[in-house]
Amino acid sequence: MKALEIQVCPTITSAEFTELMIQLGINLVVLLILSRILYMKWNRNPEYMFTQIISGIIVFMICALLRWVKLELGLVLGLFAIFSIIRFRTINVPVKDMAYLFMVVGISAVNALLPASSCLQWIIITNSLMILITLVLEISFFNHPIASRTITFDNTDLLRPSRYKALISELRNLTELDIIRFEIGKVDYIKKNAQIKIYFPGRSGDKKAEGNDSVDDD
């Protein structure tokens, strides 16, 4: 049983090639809207935006070129299983950023696999719904984002529950941030310092420096 059979690829003057270019154009527009406009507006992390756009283009190319390569089901599943084991080894990627990456991978596969000649309306509907749903969710839940930062605080006397108001006032004066809440982490009473995670209004991109300190060695 042959697992791989390559058909003759169409010429650049064929209608099939034109259809593919239309789908590629639609996919690029959708990727730019999702990553450059929506993602960057509420998250502002250029590295992840770059990853999303490149991943979406790669997935589109793979799915589009599979039109002229007949594969057995097992080989196809094995090919796409690659994406399930790819991980960012240097940092712990936030769940929301991974959701964006999964979204652009999925929508790129849809744009490549559905033929524009017979399913153009479904391609437009699917992409429009994805953009609309993402926009609504961002506006509803992340229009007033909360950023976080971990600082070292050297006055353990203020860590007592009875001095909560004095502590948050001191943190606001120290950082000049409108701190909403905080979490006390590791406390060293000998050296008289503590790790405190503060939360304040801001873009999630403000967490970048903190996130880079988390190394995933699994």
pLDDT in tens, 71-87: 555 555 565 655 555 55
Q: Predicted confidence band at 203 (pLDDT cuts at 50, 70, 90)? A: low
Residue 7 lies inside a defined structural domain of this protein: no
Do the Cβ atoms of 185 and 150 come closer than 8 Å? yes
Mean pLDDT for 181-203 is 86
By residue range, what is the domain housing residue 193?
Answer: 146-209
CATH code, domain with 173: 3.30.70
Do the Cβ atoms of 72 and 3 come closer than 8 Å? yes
Final residue of a domain: which of 94, 124, 142?
A: 142
Q: How far apart are the C-alpha atoms of 9 and 2, rounded to whole Å?
A: 19
Count up the domains in the chain and report the number: 2
Model confidence, pTM: 0.64
Task: Answer yes or no: is pLDDT of 199 > 70.
Answer: yes
Q: How far apart are the C-alpha atoms of 28 and 21, rounded to whole Å?
A: 10
Q: What per-residue confidence (pLDDT) applies to 64?
A: 83
* Residue in the structure block whose two tokens are 């690829």: 9
> In terms of domains, do 135 and 158 share one?
no
Final residue of a domain: which of 142, 164, 193?
A: 142
Mean pLDDT for 206-214 is 42
Task: Answer yes or no: is pLDDT of 116 > 70.
Answer: yes
Task: Answer yes or no: is pLDDT of 165 > 60.
Answer: yes
> In terms of domains, do 64 and 161 share one?
no
Q: What per-residue confidence (pLDDT) applies to 131?
A: 95
Residue spans of beta strands (DSSP E) within the chain? 4-6, 69-71, 146-153, 181-188, 193-201
- CB burial of residue 56 (10 Å; 0-12, 13-18, 19+): buried
Residue 188 lies inside a defined structural domain of this protein: yes
> In terms of domains, do 125 and 161 share one?
no
Residue 49 lies inside a defined structural domain of this protein: yes
> In terms of domains, do 60 and 131 share one?
yes
Mean pLDDT for 57-80 is 70
Q: Tell me the pLDDT of the chain averaged across its residues.
A: 79
Q: What per-residue confidence (pLDDT) applies to 65?
A: 79
Task: Answer yes or no: is pLDDT of 133 > 90.
Answer: yes
Q: What per-residue confidence (pLDDT) applies to 70?
A: 63
Q: What per-residue confidence (pLDDT) applies to 66?
A: 76
Q: Is the pLDDT higher at 160 or at 44?
A: 160
Q: Predicted confidence band at 209 (pLDDT cuts at 50, 70, 90)? A: very low
> In terms of domains, do 129 and 68 share one?
yes
Backbone angles phi, psi at 38, to 5 degrees: -70, -50
Residue 185 lies inside a defined structural domain of this protein: yes
* Residue in the structure block whose two tokens are 């429009």: 128
Q: How far apart are the C-alpha atoms of 81 and 31, rounded to whole Å?
A: 22
> In terms of domains, do 53 and 135 share one?
yes
> In terms of domains, do 68 and 96 share one?
yes
Residue 115 lies inside a defined structural domain of this protein: yes
Final residue of a domain: which of 142, 172, 190?
A: 142
Residue 54 lies inside a defined structural domain of this protein: yes
Read off the DSSP letter of residue 185: E
> In terms of domains, do 181 and 158 share one?
yes
Task: Answer yes or no: is pLDDT of 143 > 80.
Answer: no
Percent of the chain scored above 90 by pLDDT?
Answer: 24
Q: What per-residue confidence (pLDDT) applies to 42?
A: 80
* Residue in the structure block whose two tokens are 């006032």: 169
